[in-house]
A and B are shown apart, each in its own frame.
Chain A
Amino acid sequence: GENVEQHPSTLSVQEGDSAVIKCTYSDSASNYFPWYKQELGKRPQLIIDIRSNVGEKKDQRIAVTLNKTAKHFSLHITETQPEDSAVYFCAATTNTGNQFYFGTGTSLTVIP
C-alpha cells in the first residue's frame, strides 16, 4: 500500500515568515494530494489540494507544489500569522479515492 512521510514533525516560525512542510509518497498511482489543517480540539479541515496533472496551486497565502518524478509534494504558507498555528496533515490517494493515506502531521507554531 501507499506510504506517506511528512517532515518536519514540529515547526516554529516568526510571524510574517514563510513555512514549508514536505511530504513524500511511495505509490506512483497516487494522483490526488490534499492538505488539512487541524486546530486543537477540532476536526481536520481541507485547506488546499492538488491533482497530479498540475505542478502548483495557490490560494491566497497558501500554495502546494507537486513533483511526480520525485514523488513529493509540499505546502507553502507565506506571511504567516498566529492563526496559522495548528497541526497540518498531508495525504495521498488514487483516482478511485477508496483509501486516503495520511502523513503523521506537522505542528506549526507562529510566534507573534
Chain B
Amino acid sequence: DAGITQSPRHKVTETGTPVTLRCHQTENHRYMYWYRQDPGHGLRLIHYSYGVKDTDKGEVSDGYSVSRSKTEDFLLTLESATSSQTSVYFCAISGQGNEQYFGPGTRLTVT
C-alpha cells in the first residue's frame, strides 16, 4: 500500500460536536482528496487539494472544511457533526501519473 495513513480509524461522536480527521502521506504527492463512502452512492468527493494551502470543493462539500498546511497532511473538519455525516471517510493521494491510492479509511458515527 502507498504510504497513506488516516487517524483516527474509528470515531463515535455526538451531534453538534466538531470533528477533525487527519490524512498523512509519505509519498510527497501533490494531490490529496477526501471522499465519503455510503451504501448505494459509491465514493463521493468532499474536497481535494492540489498543493499546500490550495484546496477546492467536491460534489458533497457542504458541512465540511479542509486545510493543508504541509504537503504530507490534509485535514478534514466537520464543524458541527450531524447524523447525515455518519459514513466511512477515505483519504486518497495522486501523483503526476494520475494513479490514485487510498488510505485505510475512517469510520465515523455521529449519534
Which residues of chain A have a CB within 8 Å of any CB of chain B? 1, 6, 32, 34, 36, 42-46, 49, 89, 91, 93, 95, 97-100, 102-105
Contacts and interface: CB of A to CB of B under 8 A. Distances in A.
Interface in B70-111: 90, 92, 94, 98-105
Interface residues of B, number: 25
B48 A105 contact: no
B34 interface: no
B45 interface: yes
A98 B40 contact: no
B14 interface: no
A105 B33 CA distance: 19
Identify the 6 closest CB pairs spanning chains A and B, nearest first: A104-B42, A43-B102, A102-B43, A97-B98, A32-B98, A102-B42
Contact of B41 (A32, A93, A104): A104
Interface of B is mostly: strand
Interface of B: 1, 31, 33, 40-45, 48, 50, 56, 58-59, 90, 92, 94, 98-105
A46 B45 contact: no
**Residue from A44, A93, A104, A105 having most chain B Cβ neighbours under 10 A:** A44
Contact of A89 (B43, B94, B99): B43
Contact of A98 (B43, B48, B99): B48
Given A89-B42, A89-B43, A97 B90 contact: no
B105 to A, nearest CB: 6
B21 to A, nearest CB: 15
A46 B50 contact: no
Contacts of B45: 99-100
A104 B39 CA distance: 9
Contacts of A43: 1, 90, 102-105
29 contacts: A6-B42, A34-B100, A36-B102, A42-B104, A43-B1, A43-B102, A43-B103, A43-B104, A43-B105, A44-B43, A46-B99, A46-B101, A49-B98, A89-B42, A89-B43, A91-B100, A97-B100, A98-B31, A98-B50, A99-B45, A99-B48, A100-B33, A100-B45, A100-B94, A100-B100, A102-B42, A102-B43, A104-B40, A104-B42
